[in-house]
Amino acid sequence: MATTTASEKPQRSARAQAFADFCKRFARNKGAVVGLVILLAVVLLALIAPLLYPASPWQMVQRPFLPPMATEGFWFGTDTLGRDIGAGLAYGARISLIVGIVSTVVALTIGVTIGALAGYYGGYLDDALMRFTEFFQTIPNFALAIVLVAIFQPSTTSVIIAIGIVSWPPVARLVRGEFLSLRSREFVQASIVLGQSNGHIITRQILPNTLSPVIVMASLMIAQAILLESSLSFLGLGDPNTMSWGYMIGAARTVIRQAWWMSFFPGVAILLTVLALNLVGEGLNDALNPRLARKGR
Amino acid sequence: MQKLIYIAKRLVKAVFVLLAIVVLNFFLIRAAPGDPAQVMAGEAGAADEIFIAQLREEFGLDEPLHVQLWIYVSDIVTLDMGYSYRQDEPVAKLVFERLPATLLLTGTAFVLSILLGVLLGALAAARVGKWTDSLITVVALVFYATPLFWIALMAILLFSVKLGWLPGFGMFSVGADYTGFAAVLDVLQHLILPAATLGLFFMAIYARLTRASMLEVMDMDFVKTARAKGVAPARITRIHVLRNAILPVITLAGIQAGQLVGGAVLTETVFAWPGIGRLMFDALLQRDYNLLLGVFFVSSAMVILFNLVTDVVYTLVDPRIELK
Amino acid sequence: MLRRICTLAAVAAATALATPAMAQTSGGTMNVVIQPEPPGLMLGITQNGPTQMVAGNIYESLLRYDTELNPMPSLAESWEVNEDGTVYTFKLKDGVTWHDGEPFSAADVVFSADVFLRETHPRLRVSLQHVETIEALDDRTVQFTLKQPFGPFLGIFEVGTMPMVPKHIYEGTDFKNNPMNATPIGTGPFKFAEWEKGSYIRLVKNEDYHVEGQPYLDEIYWHVIPDAASRSVAYETGKVDVLPGGSVENFDVQRLVDLENSCVTGKGWEYFAPHAWLWVNNREGPMADKRFRQAIMYALDREFAKEVIWNGLGQVPTGPVSSKTRFYTDDVRQYPHDPEKAKELLAEMGYDGTPIRLLPLPYGETWQRWAEAVRQNLQEAGIAVEMVATDVAGWNQKLAEWDYDLAFTYLYQYGDPALGVARTYLSSNIAKGSQWNNVEGYVNEEVDRLFNEAAVAFPDSARQELYTEVQQILVEEVPVAWLLEIEFPTIHRCDVKDLVDTAIGVNDGFRNAWLDR
């Protein structure tokens, strides 16, 4: 018993130390800190949307085409039907984040699985899986996303699935590369000699060591997914029951000259969120790959 | 010789990939609700069973699915992409009519973005940490994070509607009947806004990539050695760093070049550019199966072709890399 | 004994149209938007909206209609009908030639109506079931003999309904695959010149047109511009002169009309009388209850939709028949916007909050916004609504398979309830696979009887009585929820004169149009 606690304690403090180092490195990148602050603000906005705007964002609450700042309580103006743009922005943050995160999880699940299998087992399996990946990279991916959403008919689920399906190949390639190089390392070879199961080695030994680049990539993928979602909505391929920023711009497109605010604010919202995610991604990169960290400055 | 064998092998492989894509898309599009006969009947504003049955028979949609697939595949291997139901013209004609417009738009955007992107990226890397670097980095990041269609709309609003400097839609002034140089000038004018919008986004990517890649190379030993030997900094940047840092840019350019054909849907939509992306989107909504498959076939072929070209360019830039 | 109808009056009306107060100037090019690009221009084979809009200038029929739906001469210069309304005799105009120079004759009429269109034109095919024989009495005389009186008969000679096609080109060929379909030949005021796919269609003046001095324009360009915002810009920057109904989003209309030298009209839809409603699937769930359907009518804020979404153009309908269509009556139950009344009805029937699926019409922003407003209206009255997203193909299929609860649509009425209204409510018209029949699944024997009798009743006063009664029953029962009598705004430069002056508006508008520049 005594030995266990003894070995746990330094381990914990080592972890704490590593985390502190990570934070310090992350904080050294000022852009990343700014990004993190913006991102947290967006998350907060998404969380408290129902408190800020108790009514549904679809409710027609004022006269249409009210410019921003003109009427108390409607700082962002109203849209073609007299709905509050502010409410749309708040509720839109939710769906953008959900689509961004969930579709990235979908893409990671597919990509990591395929990449890990290909990289670990190699040989024919690797060949087959890589052909499969190349195949998906050959089909123009935005076009494929459009086709998928059109086939499943637009809904939050179909948008998420479509984005997930077109985004996984880079993950698979990245993970495969990491697996290929890690597989020949001593600690993996040792586990193989010790007779540990392949599943155990893949999930417990190698996968944790590939996490850094995957996390960095994931943060950028969320950003891409949000852009992709807005592009689909812009073309009229979004879920009609959820208020999203992409939908708002799509709906504002035809009236952009009468009501610049209708597309301007959601556009800025997307820009800020995507920018924040990119900045955070770079910060994570600096913090997780210290060897390369210096290049940013 | 070795190169030729390699290329031949790749081409054979490509044919199979293309076939697989065709088959996948064949089933995908048929999984979508509705069929072209229904869409066309819907557009006609009135139709009865006879009318729809006539259409299905005309299009060969009354055959069992596997027969349709067999007919399609055996046609496509002879490069016959069939007829468009909606437009009643050969798919090949429609696709190759639209392809030049897309290639002009995306090609211009591609060249612009690569030149500007690499230039800005290199500049930023050379002045790392200075305000030039910060400015370029921020600008690149902002364009990278902005929805393409949003910039496009803002550009039309500003340059076409408010200032009236540039045409905001189409590829040429219809009805003007320009010839010769005037016609070229006319197309160029129409090209500026869409190409710039599309190019800005890619430029941002290339700038970021070039900068990151150059910084990485600058850290490498051979650069340090050159620097220690007292080689002029400008020369180091030009000869040693850029040449080595350009490889990831080429990789990305290869991927991008392939996607250019299909990836211009948004730009073409906003600017009403008569290209292949828009053709695809319309074909999809109208369930014009043959046309959609044709567009996918051609744009996938482009991707494969560009990938191959990229690999060959790779060996030219860096002779150490072998094709295998 | 023959009754001579109208000839004098109609000729007078036509002359009045042809010679307005101002002197027309000849010449000039007109630039018009066409949306979407038509699948073909052979009007006998393709009859969708954009085809009719362009090909209405290439082809002609025997008659045209003024905005009150009175027939006017076109290829027929006069016509007669016998006393019991079963034999119609048309005298064709002399000296009419096809665009390729061949003379137009009675044989062409017989071929078009009896052979060609019976095979290719689903809507006309239904009307021609009432026709026993079509004969050419001589080169310039055609006689239609009906099985029994058919009230709307004189209304089926509109160019999109019965376009005259050249016998010398099509006889004995496979109509749909005739290579001449690519270069259509008609008798109309404009000739087909070229079609740059994805870009523009060009028509040029028919120098040998059979109306002296017409047309005035030298050529017409129809521009294909696939994006609504771009179409607005095209008008704004002066590239196009005319935006036909539906080519820009409604929210943009006011701004475009406010431009200098810009005019708008909601006229030119009298023949079609597009009538928008919500299909209500009468077969299933709460929709099977009449009180639920009435609650929907009370819940809808139809004035708001008209004012905000349709720029105040159009009219809130009282029932199944448009006020522009013949035999309309407003002597029916009224449904003002009254959410409280809707809630009462829902409480009375014991509506349990079952969610209802709403299928919008996938025709762009206007319809999407409208569906969102309707969803909000219904939710405020306590009906749980979930919107289903789909594209045109999916929408067609869902309606044809009856896989919906509420669905937006609009249908044309073609001037007469027997042509454009009865089809939606007759129980004999319930069949899967089409979205123009009794899609809602409404069954009422009394309604069937009234519609069937009214179609063949003679004269018109007898028809009016029957149609009044059927309108009263339908409005009480609410088989579908009527939303709006649509008037699609035609926006044009004010110096484009005499563009919209018949019941089909722009579809044959360029015959009289001229530029005051």
Does ipTM come in above 0.90? no
Q: For chain B, first and last CA: distance in Å?
A: 12
Q: What is the pLDDT of residue A212?
A: 83
Within 281-320 of B, beta carbons closer than 8 Å to A belong to 281, 284-285, 292, 295-296, 299-300, 303-304, 307
Question: What tokens appear for C138 in the block?
Answer: 């001589």
Tell me phi and psi for residue C410, to 5 degrees. Answer: -145, 140
The A-side interface with C (CB below 8 A) comprises: 58-60, 64, 80-82, 150, 153-155, 236-241, 251, 253-258
Structure tokens at B263: 């990836």
A253-279 pLDDT, tens per residue? 777 777 888 888 999 999 999 999 989
> Residue C408's beta-bridge partner residues?
C278
Q: What DSSP string runs through B216-278?
A: HHHTSHHHHHHHHHT--HHHIIIIIIIHHHHHHHHHHHHHHHHHHHHTTHHHHHHHT--SHHH
**CB < 8 Å from A in window 53-112 of B:** none
Of C402, C374, C413, the C-alpha closest to C503 is C413
User: At C67, phi and psi to the nearest 5?
Assistant: -70, -10
Q: Which of these ranges, A20-24, A286-290, C5-9, C119-123, has the smallest mean pLDDT?
A: C5-9
A24 to chain B, closest Cα gap in Å: 20
Give the separation between CA B58 and CA A219, rounded to whole angstroms. Answer: 50
Phi, psi of C279 (to 5 degrees): -65, 135
Position B269 scores a pLDDT of 80
Task: Identify the structural domains of chain A with CATH numbers, from first to last.
Answer: 29-64+79-290 (1.10.3720.10)
The pLDDT value given to residue B15: 83
CB pairs under 8 A between A and C: 62
Burial class (CB in 10 A: 0-12, 13-18, 19+), B265: buried
Contact C49 B87 (CB under 8 A): no
B15 and A CB contact within 8 Å: no
Tokens of C102: 């061949």
Round to whole Å and give the CA distance between C42 and C44: 6
pLDDT of residue C26: 87
CB-based contact B4:C354 (threshold 8 Å): no
Are A82 and C388 within 8 A, CB to CB?
no
Residue C509: what pLDDT?
Answer: 77
**Do C308 and A150 lie within an 8 Å CB cutoff?**
no
Residue C57 has pLDDT above 90, yes or no: yes
User: Right CATH number for C2-184+489-515 from 3.40.710.10, 3.90.76.10, 3.30.565.10, 3.40.50.720?
Assistant: 3.90.76.10
Q: A17 CA to chain B: closest CA distance, Å?
A: 28
Where do the domains of chain C lie?
A: 2-184+489-515, 275-486
> Chain B window 275-304: which residues touch C at a Cβ cutoff of 8 Å?
278-279, 282, 285-287
Task: Answer whether C431 touches A (CB < 8 Å).
Answer: no
What pLDDT digit, counting tens, does each position of C16-30 carry?
444 444 578 888 999
On the question of pLDDT at C315 being above 70, the answer is yes
pLDDT band for A56, please (50, 70, 90 cuts).
confident
pLDDT at C119 over 70: yes
Mean confidence (pLDDT) of chain A: 85
H/E stretch holding C81: strand C76-82
Mean pLDDT of C295-314: 93
Q: What angle do CA B3, B9, B11 make, to 5 degrees?
A: 105
Q: Residue B287: its pLDDT value, please?
A: 87
The confidence band for B320, taking pLDDT boundaries of 50, 70 and 90, is low
**pLDDT on residue B47:** 66
Q: How many Å apart are CA C88 and CA C85, to the nearest integer? A: 8
Inspect the interface and report whether the beta carbons of B147 and A234 lie closer than 8 Å: yes
Inter-chain residue contact C386 with A254, CB threshold 8 Å: no
Polymer length in residues for chain B = 324
Is the pLDDT at C97 greater than 90, yes or no?
A: yes
pLDDT band at B262 (very low <50, low <70, confident <90, very high): low
Q: What is the CA B246 to chain-centroid distance, rounded? A: 21
Residue B224 is encoded by which pair of tokens? 């340090």
Helix (H, G, I), strand (E, B), or coil: what is residue A221?
A: helix
Q: Do B40 and C39 touch (CB under 8 A)?
A: yes
The alpha helices in C237-353, defined as continuous H runs, are 250-257, 290-299, 302-304, 339-349
Give pLDDT, residue C469.
96
Q: What angle do CA A162, A153, C380 make, to 5 degrees?
A: 120
- Residue C3 — pLDDT band, cuts 50, 70, 90? very low
pLDDT at A103: 95
Q: At residue A9, does pLDDT exceed 70?
A: no
Closest C-alpha among A85, A91, A86, A93 to residue A262: A85
**Euclidean distance between the first and final Cα of chain C, in Å?**
52
Mutate to test the interface with B, among A234, A257, A265, A277 (most CBs of B within 10 A): A234
Residue A208 predicted with pLDDT over 50? yes
Is the model's pLDDT at C2 over the cut of 80?
Answer: no
**Which residue among C255, C386, C391 places its CB closest to the CB of A150?**
C391
Question: Would you call C373 an interface residue with chain A, using a CB distance cutoff of 8 Å?
Answer: yes
- Domain range C275-486, CATH class: alpha beta
Cβ separation of B146 and A274 shorter than 8 Å? Answer: yes
Q: Give B195-233 pLDDT, tens digit per residue.
A: 888 888 888 888 888 888 888 777 777 777 777 777 777
pLDDT digits (tens, 9 = 90+) for B24-80: 888 888 888 888 887 877 776 666 677 778 888 888 888 888 888 888 888 888 888
Digit-coded pLDDT (tens) for A228-252: 998 898 888 889 898 989 889 888 8
- Give the integer Cα–Cα distance in Å for C47 and C272: 13
Q: What's the rounded mean pLDDT across residues C61-66? A: 94
For range C276-297, the mean pLDDT: 94
| Residue in chain B nearest A228 by alpha carbon | B147
Query: Which chain C residues are Cβ-neighbours of B164 within 8 angstroms?
Result: 237
Subunits with 3+ C-beta pairs closer than 8 A to A: B, C
Residue A74: strand pairing partners: A71
Could you give the C-alpha distances from B158 to A228, A249, A250, C150, C239, in angstroms and in order? 25, 17, 19, 59, 18
Residue B142 belongs to what H/E stretch?
A: helix B131-145
Check residue A295 and give its pLDDT: 41
Percent of chain B with pLDDT strictly greater than 90: 1
pLDDT of C168 higher than 80: yes
Among B144-153, B162-171, C465-474, name the most confident range: C465-474
Q: What residues form DSSP beta bridges with C135? A: C143
Mean pLDDT of C417-432: 91
